[in-house]
Amino acid sequence: MKNILILLCFFQLFSCKKKGENSNLKQTTIDNVFSVDLNIKILEDDKLQLFFIQDNSESGFSFQKKVNVNVQGKDEFQVVSFKLPSNVIPIRFRLDLGDNRKESEVQIKSILIRLNNNVISVDNSTIQRLFNPNKYLITSDYISFERKIIGNDYDPYLLSTPLLNKKIEIDF
């Protein structure tokens, strides 16, 4: 009988401690918002865009699936954030680096891709494996990108590579 009483006291003591510990835990909210933070130096006011594809049935990028951000030109790095609608995780995306048809340089310090608590960090040592510039972006170091008009066409962008797309699929 004495052993049962000691056992009950023991359980009572630890069950009270657990309740106290749980009350101190902060509840985190999962918002399921895929976002891309682009740390960029861009000297002119411009509009940057993120186009995305959600599934393999889509044939290509469309104007219906994009996020626009107007950027004020600065002589210093600034973070431009793109947030997709809740519960949208792209299988592929591209970052359009300007709409104003200026042949000028932009510099990219880093790109952070986030979903809830998961983060993929891209810097100048990994950007060339995770993003491909198109023919309207000229670079030799993957830090500075010269935006070019070719003929009468202008559409400078970075396209996510299959490696990055697979990493997003696995990590997110």
Rounded to whole angstroms, the Cα distance separating 163 from 169 reads 10
- Helix, strand, coil proportions of the chain in percent (round to 5)? 20, 40, 40
In a domain, 106, yes or no: yes
Name the domain count of the chain: 1
Could you tell me the residue range of the domain that residue 63 belongs to?
Answer: 34-171
The continuous run of DSSP H or E covering 163 comes out as: helix 162-171
In a domain, 6, yes or no: no
The whole-number pLDDT of residue 10 equals: 46
In a domain, 148, yes or no: yes
Order of strands, edge to edge, in the sheet holding 66-71?
Answer: 66-71, 46-53, 92-96, 157-160, 131-133
Give how far the C-alpha of residue 157 lies from the chain's centroid of Cα atoms, to the nearest Å: 15
* CATH number of the domain where residue 166 is located: 2.60.60.40
Residue found under tokens 């000028």: 104
Query: Could you tell me the mean pLDDT of each successive run of 10 residues in the chain, 172 residues long?
Result: 48 47 50 96 98 89 96 98 97 96 96 97 96 97 97 97 97 94
Rounded to whole angstroms, the Cα distance separating 126 from 158 reads 13
What sign does the CA torsion over 122, 167, 88, 157 have?
positive
pTM, rounded to two decimals? 0.81
In a domain, 142, yes or no: yes
Show the tokens assigned to 170: 């696995």
What's at 111, amino acid-wise? Answer: I
Query: How many CB atoms within 10 Å of residue 122?
Result: 23
Query: Do 73 and 131 touch, CB atoms closer than 8 A?
Result: no
